[in-house]
Amino acid sequence: LGALSYSLLLEAQAVGQLKAKRNDSIAPFYAMELMRRARELERSGKSIIHMELGEPDFPTPSPVVKAAQRFLENGIVHYTSAIGLPQLKEAIAKLYQTRHGVLIDPQQVAITAGGSSALTLLLSVLTNPESEWLMADPGYPCNRHIIRTFGGLDVALNVDRSTRFQPTLQQIKDKWNGKTAGVILVSPSNPTGSVLTKEEIQSFADFVKEKGGALIIDEVYHGLTYEESAATAAGMNSNTFVVQSFSKYFNMTGWRVGWIVAPHGYSALLEKMAQNLFIAPPTIGQHAALAALMPETIEILEARKLEFKERRDYLYSELLDIGFKIEGKPSGAFYVWADCRPFGRDSFQLANELLENCGVAVTPGLDFGSHFPEHHLRFAYATSLDQLKEGIGRIRQYLLKPIS
């Protein structure tokens, strides 16, 4: 090693040595690692079908892009208020009225840099050291890692076919104790696509309020349900918080805009923390998001939703036909949670095999918790039907090839 590279190496090691202890309890996002390997294979000339990441393949709807371009033309791109543009908060409050018939005061809305910052901001405000948050396993992995970042503890509620892949009230009651801060639910769920009913949400909200805890419902896949629309927890009671995003239904992942609907009385607290953690959400993204709520954009998004439904129906029946076990058709988001035990290997091994041997990237259950992660793979249908057909063809050929 030359002198320069040797000193760089020492510097890199030193960075590792200085890390805070809590990093050890935070796992990498395997889906991202898998995508990195998939991209590496692509760079080496291999064709890869991407069913690993939860990102819609559609471009941002053109009314949104045009609004952002118009906004940029005057070149005035300054900070906004720490919890967002007042006109966007008003438009979001109106969305709850038109979509759900729920009256929300714009003061209850805080705009954030995507659902991720909404969760970070909310958990920074609600988590005391050592306090416990109950959440589904399998479930969205970042939630438990954000909680650990703030010194809280995550407590798993094991979900499976017997619970319709969502926690039950009984599970919440059983795990509730003096240290419990609250419950985090995700509906529609990542990774299972299961959706909570209004009655279920109401019963959780009532219990959590009675206990003096907080209920956070992540509704970032709202709008993407294929039979009935999902019920919202917004405005349900004074202990219920909703997290939402322009990333999924609105096809705006890279614009980084999301929001919180908090009970009355949290606005100043959220604003104070947002000022300190983020200064403000992205200004361009917020102006673009205003156009995302216009009827002409919604029309485009509703047509795309029908495409998602067609993809879901195709993927669900093909995976069953290949021999995966799937417990009920997922009713929302863009994921199929498939049991791979019929193929005789654990999901991590199978995901690696599918990537390396047939160029199909899927996510192993490992990302989503410890409740039998080795049994499941998550297939995302956030890619075109043609790509899905190619991927399914490759999987079918690989897994069902006759033994020679």
Ligand X SMILES: Cc1ncc(COP(=O)(O)O)c(C=O)c1O
Residues making contact with ligand X (CB under 6 A): 54, 114-116, 140, 186, 190, 218, 220, 245, 247, 253, 258
The pairing of strands 363-364 and 376-380 is: antiparallel
Least distance to ligand X, CB of residue 220, Å: 4
Nearer to ligand X, 280 or 358 (CB): 280
Least distance to ligand X, CB of residue 132, Å: 20
- Sign of the C-alpha dihedral, residues 290, 295, 299, 305? positive
Nearer to ligand X, 337 or 343 (CB): 337
Nearer to ligand X, 131 or 247 (CB): 247
Nearer to ligand X, 115 or 193 (CB): 115
Note whether 216 and 183 are within 8 A (CB). yes
- β-pair partners for 180: 132
- β-pair partners for 153: 132
Q: Which amino acid is at 235?
A: G
Q: How far apart are CA 64 and CA 250, in angstroms?
A: 10
Least distance to ligand X, CB of residue 38, Å: 17
Name residue, tokens 């980084």.
Answer: 256
In three-state secondary structure terms, 387 is helix
For residue 42, count other CB atoms closer than 10 A to its CB.
Answer: 14
Least distance to ligand X, CB of residue 41, Å: 23
Least distance to ligand X, CB of residue 255, Å: 9
Nearer to ligand X, 147 or 358 (CB): 147
Nearer to ligand X, 258 or 281 (CB): 258
Nearer to ligand X, 118 or 395 (CB): 118
Q: In terms of Cα–Cα distance, which of 315, 326, 327, 337 is closest to 396?
A: 315
Q: Which amino acid is at 206?
A: D
Q: How far apart are CA 279 and CA 112, in angstroms?
A: 10
Element containing residue 214 per DSSP (H, E): strand 214-218
Q: How far apart are CA 72 and CA 68, in angstroms?
A: 6
Q: Which amino acid is at 71?
A: F
Least distance to ligand X, CB of residue 176, Å: 23
Name residue, tokens 């495409």.
Answer: 307
- β-pair partners for 216: 184, 241
Least distance to ligand X, CB of residue 32, Å: 11
The pairing of strands 109-112 and 258-261 is: antiparallel
- β-pair partners for 49: 360
Least distance to ligand X, CB of residue 114, Å: 3
Nearer to ligand X, 140 or 343 (CB): 140
Least distance to ligand X, CB of residue 138, Å: 11
Nearer to ligand X, 220 or 358 (CB): 220
Name residue, tokens 């036909």.
Answer: 321
